[in-house]
Amino acid sequence: MPRPVLTTRDFENTPDGGEITITPDTLVTPLARDELDRRRISVRVEEASQAGAPSNFGRIVAVGADHGGFALKEELKGHLREWGYTPLDLGTSSSEAVDYPDYAEAVANAIVRGDAWRGVVIDSAGIGSSIAANKIPGARAALCYDRATARNSREHNDANILSLGARLIPAELAREILAVWLKTEFGGGRHQKRVDKIRAIEERHRKP
C-alpha cells in the first residue's frame, strides 16, 4: 500500500497558525514543508494507537559520512539510539576511502524527500559535506563546532542538516553538539523572514 502524501492542497483551508494531523507514514513534500513553516502551521503525528502504526518520523535522523567521518558516525548512531531516535544510515560502511559529496547528497535528498526529520553529515573537516548538502534545494546544512553554533543554526537558520568535522573536534564534543542541535527549536519571528529569503534565492536559481 503506498504511503500517504501531504501536499499544499491538503491544508489550503487550514488557517495560519493552525494545526493539521498526519499519520506516522505520511510523506510530506518539500513544497508542503516550506509552506507549513511559512504559515506557522503545526503538524501533529497521530499516536501509534490512533494510527495503527509506530509514530517515529519525527525521530528518524539520516546520517552519512565519508571514510574520515565513519568512526564518528558509528559512535553517534549509538547515542541517537540511546536518546530514542532511529538512525537512517546512508553510508559509508567502512574506513575505506570514498568521496564525501556522495554521502552528503544522499542525506540531503533524504531530508527534502521527507524520508527523515533531520540529517547529519560528517567528514574530516565538515566543510565539504556542508557545501555539497547545500546544493540540494530545501537543504540547510550548518557546519557546527561548539554548542553555541549548534543552537544558533537551529534558532536562527532552521538548519535541517548538521555537518561535523571528525578530525577537528573530539567525539565527546560532537555528541554534545548533536544533542543541543536536536533539541533546539527554530525561533521563528524575525528569523522566519530571513529563512524565507534563503528559500527565495533557491527558487530564483532553480533550473527550469
Q: How far apart are CA 180 and CA 131, in angstroms?
A: 22
Active site (annotated) includes residue 156: yes
Residue 162 contacts residue 153 (beta carbons within 8 Å):
yes
User: What are the beta bridge partners of residue 42?
Assistant: 19
Q: How far apart are CA 59 and CA 158, in angstroms?
A: 17
Q: How far apart are CA 137 and CA 32, in angstroms?
A: 14
Residue 104 contacts residue 90 (beta carbons within 8 Å):
no
Q: DSSP H helical segments within 28-156, as ranges?
A: 30-38, 48-51, 70-82, 100-113, 127-133, 147-155
Q: Shortest CA distance to 173 belongs to which of 150, 157, 193, 189?
A: 150
Q: Which of 79, 156, 191, 205 is catalytic?
A: 156
Cell of 77: 548512531
**Biggest alpha carbon–alpha carbon distance for the chain:** 52
Residue 59 contacts residue 85 (beta carbons within 8 Å):
yes
Q: How far apart are CA 105 and CA 139, in angstroms?
A: 10
Q: How far apart are CA 101 and CA 202, in angstroms?
A: 19
Residues known to be catalytic: 156
